[in-house]
Amino acid sequence: MTTTAEPPFFGLDRDAKIRCSDWARASSLSPAGTAGTYPGYLLVEIPLPWPHDVGETAQAEAVAPVIGPAGYRLQAVMPVDPDAPAESRRVILHARPPGEAGFAGYRRFEATAGPSLPDTVAALVAAAADPAPSSLEAPAVDVLVCGHGRRDACCGRLGAGLAVRLAAPGPRPGVNLWRTSHLGGHRFAPVALVLPQGTGWAFADIDLVGAVLGREGDFAAVADHYRGCSGLESPQMQALEAEVLRREGWRVLDRPRGGSFDGSRAELTFQENDGRTVTWSGTVQPGRTVPTPDCLQPPASARKSQTEWAVSAVVRREQAWPT
């Protein structure tokens, strides 16, 4: 049953202009199941400032016909460190491996943009479509923090600020830190995306990003920040996965996993290293509905809402590898 959250204004002034992320925090809005589902992400270095819709940039318009058929999501990115050495524009593609039944992360490809950006992207897309190893594969971790101020004031202030603080200690080996365009869910600012594992995070801070990169501590400690994995096929599966991660821990993110949702019951299956198949199932239904005002608008003016996902009756089944 869908219900409206009470009290309606969570102790905030109904007529005061507030930031959407402050509202989400005050209402304890759950981010579970809000990561979106994508077969891959194309990261292109596009200079700031970005327009409200990054798709209106010349670079985005040039590559749209190339990535459109595959359904890849374009992210404009810029290095966070202003003192980073100057280099040619980098183009990075994280793509779901072809033919894989489960998801354990994207394949990462990288190239330097040549005279023709579409040609560079086309080469990456072609490499991603081939299961064979490619010279364009370049393993690394990309951390994207939304700092798209023209899209949302919270991301412009909180996200951009977090990105700068994350860069302050200096580079982390094997990790690229990017300020990126709209990731969705700006009410959860700062929002971050970690690739190639494809995990989305809400209300991010330095400690959270450090815990995610280092797999530090109990996953349950960061579970309320988890938006979901964009390699899973539905928000219901993402919501169930969040509950599974609370119980099984970080290692689930390394397992090829998949599942289904049949209208009320979600299922998530993965295989342990010893060959055991583990299946979690649970009832996933609409839960609390919370009005969501636009950023810097009063709560009383809210015209949109978010319905959280309620996960219940979670059951674990295990099957030994056949002998």
Nearest to 178 by CA among 241, 249, 89, 305: 89
pLDDT digits (tens, 9 = 90+) for 209-235: 999 999 999 999 999 999 999 999 999
Residue given tokens 């992320």 in the structure block = 21
User: Within a 10 A sphere around the Cβ of 247, how many other Cβ atoms?
Assistant: 13
Q: How confident is the model at residue 87 (pLDDT cuts 50, 70, 90)?
A: low
Q: Return the half-sphere exposure (C-beta side, CA atoms, 13 A cut-off) of residue 234.
A: 17
Give the tokens for residue 217: 């501590």
Residue closest to 4 by CA, chosen among 296, 222, 286, 239: 286
So what's the pLDDT on residue 1? 46
Q: What is the pLDDT of residues 119-159, one digit of tens each?
A: 999 999 999 999 999 999 999 999 999 999 888 888 888 99
- β-strand pairing of 73-79 with 40-45: parallel
Burial 29-44 (b: 16+ CB within 10 A, else e): bbbbbbbbbbbbbbbb
Tokens of 37: 């589902």
The amino acid sitting at 172 is R
* Percentage above 90 pLDDT, the chain: 75
Instruction: Flag the least confident range among 14-28, 62-76, 218-232, 268-282.
Output: 14-28
Q: Can you give the pLDDT at residue 89?
A: 85
Structure confidence at residue 85 (pLDDT): 60
CA-based nearest residue to 39, from 144, 131, 128: 128
Higher pLDDT among residues 320 and 212, named by residue: 212
- Residue 141's pLDDT is what? 98
pLDDT at 318 over 70: yes
Residue for token pair 């400032």: 49
Nearest to 146 by CA among 250, 30, 20, 58: 20
> In the structure encoding, which two tokens stand for residue 49, read together?
């400032």
Residue (of 307, 262, 261) closest to 34 by Cα position: 307
Average pLDDT across the chain, whole number: 91
